[in-house]
């Protein structure tokens, strides 16, 4: 015997092959070999069986002389078949069969019992305890190899089926966890139908895009930048979350895809990843319901002691590139193209409570819209002016209508209020200030005479003074809604953000 130390311990291995893999090493699905464990108290039997199997390159042989160590050795080497003597001094052979069948690691391993003679009663009892086969020792070489191969093949097939099942189960659990993560994450921003389409498509999360006609909605809280400067960080977040929570529910209801939240603004896609014939109509219906929900938003704000807010919405329809944009490490489903920018420009012309749409959206919606106003504008980046339309409602299956707007009646001032103002470019004010006076005023807006002509839909930052010249506020924001005369220059504005000091002044002085 080559491996003396193992022989002295009562365990003999076939050294030329079994030493290449340590006992108990994990065997992968494609590398199962026939591994034989012989348990017999007679070393001469162990050597004889070793010689019988030595010429078989695909069989690893292990011998254990001490029956008390047999189960431990089996757990270490993971045999595919066990040969076991029935007559041993330390442990009765039938009791060892019980041990092997009670042990989790050998419960299903084929077990061939060996005996010196045919004993029907002993054979029957061995089979009743879980033995798979019975041989008289010493068996013929061809017979023992055939039986070892037969029983090992069945067990290896069982192992591989079990391993394949476990691997499949592990993969399914991983996929389920992945799907649950996607559903939990994207379900907050997308409809169930869209989430299902992402999960069901193996290509759904790959980078790439396509050009298609979509409708883009951009929303924004008018004057919220100025409001946020007067609130604590916690209050700002509370107001935004209150607003976004209600708006998200409505957007998902109308099967819009929320591309991103940009502070207090929302960018929504209708038509991707799922394209529908009614994308433009659904976007307008969604916008109307969002405006109607602002009553509840402000109700919650009042309960929390926060200021009321007003929402402007711009909608545009056109060709865009949509798809998964970014890198393998970080990507998002989004849209790219000038029509996204145009939707943002259209939204910038809104006042609180207003919905403005492009001509392409109007055409896609058809005659079911109630149009309250139209205006020609020249958005930045375009060569020619465009016409945009104010939507007041949508008929058909939606049947949603905002209250018809009436221009607020302004109070004629006996003593005009001096102002200084500067037009805003985007969110930024220029340093140059222009003079003017408030001729008429209401809580919603004012009529102003000024030294500078200002285009309709321009945004203004106004410093307001009382009739004695004392400063009331420098943070009054407004949008020009109508030019009244050119000489003198008079225009009307809607207030988009009124600070508390201005509200107090108007209430004290004019009772509104």
The model's confidence at residue 177, banded by pLDDT at 50, 70 and 90, is low
Q: What is the DSSP string of 352-379?
A: TTEEEEEHHHHHHHGGGEEEEEEEEE--
What's the mean pLDDT in 408-430? 87
Residue among 328, 325, 290, 324 at smallest CA distance from 309: 290
192-401, which class in CATH?
A: alpha beta
Residue 471 gets the label, from left (phi > 0), alpha (psi -120 to 50) or beta, of beta
3-class secondary-structure state, position 391: strand
What's the mean pLDDT in 359-366? 97
Q: How far apart are CA 414 and CA 467, in angstroms?
A: 10
Q: How far apart are CA 401 and CA 292, in angstroms?
A: 9
Element (H, E) at 347: helix 338-348
3-class secondary-structure state, position 172: helix
The model's confidence at residue 381, banded by pLDDT at 50, 70 and 90, is confident
450 vs 31, which has greater pLDDT?
Answer: 450
Q: Express as a percent the part of the chain with pLDDT over 70.
A: 83
- Cα of first residue to Cα of last residue in the chain, in angstroms, is 108
What beta strand segments (E) does 274-353 contain? 311-326, 331-336
- The answer to whether the CB of 434 falls within 8 A of the CB of 418 is no
Pairing of strands 34-39, 81-85: parallel
Q: How far apart are CA 205 and CA 503, in angstroms?
A: 51
Per-residue pLDDT, 141: 86
Residues paired with 480 in a beta bridge: 493
Per-residue pLDDT, 443: 92
The model's confidence at residue 272, banded by pLDDT at 50, 70 and 90, is confident
What beta strand segments (E) does 128-234 contain? 133-136, 208-221
pTM summary value: 0.61
Which class for 38: exposed (0-12), middle (13-18), buried (19 or more C-beta within 10 A)?
A: buried
The ranges assigned to domains in the chain are 4-161, 192-401, 411-510
Residue among 76, 83, 70 at smallest CA distance from 36: 83
Fill in the DSSP letter of residue 107: T
In degrees, rounded to 5, the angle at the alpha carbon of residue 205 between the alpha carbons of residues 200 and 208 is 125
Q: What is the DSSP string of 408-469?
A: PPPEEEEEEEEEEEEEEETTEE-S--EEEEEEEE-SSEEEEEESS---TT-EEEEEEE-TTS
Q: Of 37-46, 106-115, 321-330, which gets the smallest average pLDDT?
A: 321-330
Structure tokens at 469: 């010249």
Task: For residue range 69-118, list pLDDT tens digits in order.
Answer: 889 999 998 888 999 888 888 788 888 888 898 888 888 889 998 887 77
Residue 5 has pLDDT above 50, yes or no: no
Q: Which residue has the tokens 């019988």?
A: 52
Q: How far apart are CA 317 and CA 84, in angstroms?
A: 80
Q: How far apart are CA 159 and CA 78, in angstroms?
A: 11
Measured over the CA atoms of residue 98, residue 100, residue 104 and residue 108, the dihedral's sign is negative
Q: Which residue has the tokens 């029935």?
A: 86
Q: Of 89-103, 188-202, 410-424, which gets the smallest average pLDDT?
A: 188-202
The average confidence (pLDDT) of the chain is: 84
Residue 154 has pLDDT above 60, yes or no: yes
Per-residue pLDDT, 441: 96
Residue 169 has pLDDT above 80, yes or no: no
Looking at domain 411-510, its CATH superfamily turns out to be predicted glycosyltransferase like domains (2.40.10.220)
Residue among 211, 210, 219, 280 at smallest CA distance from 247: 219
- The answer to whether the CB of 424 falls within 8 A of the CB of 460 is yes
Per-residue pLDDT, 439: 97
Task: Pick one of 3.40.50.2300, 3.30.2400.10, 3.10.20.600, 3.90.79.10 as the CATH number of 4-161.
Answer: 3.40.50.2300
């Amino acid at each position: 015997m080559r491996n003396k130390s193992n022989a002295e311990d009562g365990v003999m291995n076939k050294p030329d092959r079994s030493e290449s893999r340590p006992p108990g090493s994990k065997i992968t699905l494609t590398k199962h070999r026939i591994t034989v464990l012989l348990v017999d108290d007679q070393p001469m039997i162990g050597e004889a069986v070793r010689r019988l199997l030595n010429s078989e390159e695909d069989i690893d042989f292990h011998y254990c002389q001490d029956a008390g160590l047999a189960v431990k050795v089996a757990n270490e080497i993971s045999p595919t078949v066990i040969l076991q003597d029935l007559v041993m001094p330390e442990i009765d052979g039938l009791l060892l069969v019980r041990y092997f069948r009670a042990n989790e690691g050998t419960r299903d391993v084929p077990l061939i019992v060996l005996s010196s003679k045919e004993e029907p009663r002993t054979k029957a009892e061995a089979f009743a305890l879980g033995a798979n086969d019975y041989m008289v020792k010493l068996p013929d070489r061809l017979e023992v190899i055939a039986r070892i191969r037969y029983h090992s093949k069945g067990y290896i097939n069982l192992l591989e089926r079990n391993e394949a099942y476990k691997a499949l189960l592990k993969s399914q659990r991983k996929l389920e966890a992945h799907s649950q993560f996607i559903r939990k994450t994207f379900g907050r921003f997308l409809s169930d139908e869209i989430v299902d389409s992402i999960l069901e498509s193996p290509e759904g999360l790959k980078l790439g895009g396509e050009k298609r006609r979509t409708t883009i909605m951009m929303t924004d809280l008018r004057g919220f930048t100025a409001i946020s400067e007067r609130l604590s960080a916690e209050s700002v977040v509370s107001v935004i979350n209150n607003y976004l929570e209600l708006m998200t529910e409505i957007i998902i209801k109308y099967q819009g895809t929320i591309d991103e939240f940009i502070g207090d603004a929302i960018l929504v896609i209708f038509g991707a990843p799922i394209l529908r014939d009614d994308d433009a109509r659904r976007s307008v219906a969604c916008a109307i319901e969002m405006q109607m929900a602002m009553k509840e938003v402000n109700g919650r704000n009042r309960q929390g002691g926060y200021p009321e807010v007003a929402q402007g919405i711009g909608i545009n329809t056109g060709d865009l590139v949509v798809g998964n944009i970014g890198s393998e490490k970080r990507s998002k489903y989004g849209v790219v193209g000038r029509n996204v920018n145009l939707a943002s420009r259209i939204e910038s012309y809104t006042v609180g409570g207003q919905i403005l749409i492009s001509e392409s959206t109007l055409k896609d919606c058809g005659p079911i819209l109630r149009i309250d106003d139209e205006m020609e504008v020249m958005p930045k980046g375009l060569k020619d002016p465009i016409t945009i339309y104010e939507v007041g409602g949508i008929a058909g299956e939606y049947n949603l209508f905002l209250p018809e707007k009436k221009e607020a009646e302004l109070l004629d001032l006996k003593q005009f209020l001096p102002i200084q103002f500067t037009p805003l470019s985007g969110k930024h004010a220029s340093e140059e200030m222009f003079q003017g006076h408030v001729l008429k005023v209401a809580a919603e807006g004012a009529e102003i005479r000024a030294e500078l002509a200002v285009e309709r839909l321009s945004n203004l930052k106004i410093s307001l003074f009382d009739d004695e010249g004392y400063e009331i506020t420098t943070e009054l924001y407004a949008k020009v809604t109508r030019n009244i005369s050119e000489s003198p220059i008079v225009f009307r504005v809607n207030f988009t953000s009124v600070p508390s000091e201005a509200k107090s002044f108007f209430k004290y002085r004019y009772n509104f």
